[in-house]
Structure 1
Amino acid sequence: MINIKIAITGTPGVGKSTVSKLLVKKLNNTEKFGNFEYIDITDAVKEHKLYSEKDEKMDSYVVDFQKLGNYINEIVKSKSENLVIDGHVSHLLDVDYIVVLRCNPEIVSNRLKDRNYCKDKVKENVAAEILDVCLIGALDNSNCKYVYELDTTYKNVSSIVGEIVDAITHKKTKYGIVNWLDTYFYMLD
């Protein structure tokens, strides 16, 4: 059986973890792919010390991508599992399929404030959403030819997961569907 690694990426607050967890459940009930394991990059980086340093100001870790890549490869080798990799840097890994989740920047801002992110961290992540940072990174990943962008704004999780399963099953690519810049440029100040 061929193992597949699916990256679910997007700025914090777009719904990656919620979507990823339901996606794993849905895929595990599909005969086509076999079993999937869920990896939360943030948790893995902290738990297995897959970082080079901690950015105290932003309260985040600087990921050591070599260590993270080795960790993921060990999971694939030891368990022969398919993976759903949840994280806003997952599009930078050696994966087979990248799903870029997008969401209205005002909603992202509110979600991050509700999580008690500091003002600078909210501003940085909202700017990243407006400027397509994760999408551009995904398109720059030369190891992956399948990139699927999905606007999660006002969609329920089941329909998002259904669309992702359909995209993966049929090896669809789709991007360039979101342009927040024209409407939300004022949030970049």
Structure 2
Amino acid sequence: MEAPQHPPRRRPNVLVTGTPGTGKTTTCEMVALATGMTHIEVGKLVKEKGLHDGFDEEFQSFLIDEDRVVDELEDVLAPGGVIVDHHGCDFFPERWFDLVVVLTCPNDVLYDRLEKRGYSEKKIQENVECEIMQVVLEEAHDSYDHSIVVTLQSSTVDEMEENVNRIEQWVDTFIAQHA
């Protein structure tokens, strides 16, 4: 099936991805405030709209129905101006995003963040291993043109603020170039 044709975007779509606990949602909320973009937290959308195939008790998370998520977001992302946050990225159509930001942080910081969230030891270990192996970064490079994938460190408040400023500047440049 061919993708729907939409007019060129004047505002970009940005995907912020990374291992759980790297600061995706906070970064996206701050970017949305700074730029007026619409923030979509995929995990929250999945829960609210029932875009899943049940609940995994062991990992305390919904089993996302990727096709239903794509169907739900297709028309929402078409006009642009959306910042999406999700820990995975390989199922989103490449055409959706103008910038893909992969947030990373040191394992000790990540461990502490996930522990504070109340994650089980098994879930913490799995996520720390994903960060060590750079699973999300590799997924982003495999799924999108390397020229739009950017890796940003997100372990301190200062780094997070710098990341928000960088993304905001990138959005402003995109809008100026597509006016």
Question: Shorter-normalised TM-score: what interval?
Answer: 0.7 to 0.9
In 2, the alpha carbon distance for the partners of 1:41 and 1:158 equals 22
Counterpart for residue 138 of structure 1: 140
Whether the aligned pair in 1 keeps the contact of 2:12 and 2:171 (CA below 8 Å) is: no
Q: Is the 8 A contact 1:7 1:91 kept in 2?
A: no
> Is 1:160 matched with 2:163?
yes
Judging changes above 3 Å, is the alpha-carbon distance between structure 1 residues 167 and 74 closer, same or farther for their aligned structure 2 residues? closer
Aligned to 2:46: 45
| Residue number in structure 1 paired with 2:24 | 16
Tell me the distance in 2 between the aligned counterparts of 1:144 and 1:52. 32
Matches of 1:142 and 1:148, distance apart in 2:
11
Q: CA deviation at 1:158?
A: 2.1
Deviations along 1:142-168, one digit per CA (max 9) or x if unpaired, are 478510100112352321101223345
Q: Say if 2:16 and 2:100, in contact at 8 Å, map to a contact too.
A: yes
**Shift, 1:40, TM fit:** 0.7
Distance in 2 separating the partners of 1:138 and 1:92:
10
Compared CA separation, residues 145 and 73, structure 1 to 2 (3 A): farther
2:28–2:83: 8 Å Cα contact kept in structure 1?
yes
Match of residue 87 from structure 1: 86
Gaps of 5+ in 2: 1-7, 175-179
Deviation at 1:73, TM superposition (A): 1.1
Residues 92 and 137 in structure 1, CA contact (< 8 A), matched pair in contact too: no
Q: Tell me how large the CA RMSD over aligned residues is.
A: 2.1
SS at match of 1:54: strand
1: CA distance between counterparts of 2:145 and 2:53? 24
Q: Partners in 2 of 1:155 and 1:83 — Cα distance?
A: 23
In structure 2, C-alpha distance between the alignment counterparts of 1:107 and 1:116, rounded to whole Å = 15
- Does the C-alpha gap of structure 1 residues 144 and 117 become closer, same or farther in structure 2, counting only changes over 3 Å? same
1:79-106 CA deviation, whole Å, 9 max, x = no partner?
A: x452100110145412322100000111
TM-score (norm 1): 0.78
Write the deviation string for residues 98-133 of structure 1: whole angstroms up to 9, x where unpaired: 100000111100110111101110000001111101
Equivalence map 1:107-186=2 (5 Å):
107-142=109-144, 145-156=147-158, 157-168=160-171
Secondary structure of the 1:88 match is coil
For this pair of structures, how many residues does the alignment match? 162
Moved more, 110-119 or 158-167: 158-167
Alignment gaps of 5+ in structure 1: 29-35, 172-189
Q: Distance in 2 between the 1:135 and 1:166 partners?
A: 22
If the length of structure 2 is used for normalisation, what is the TM-score?
0.82
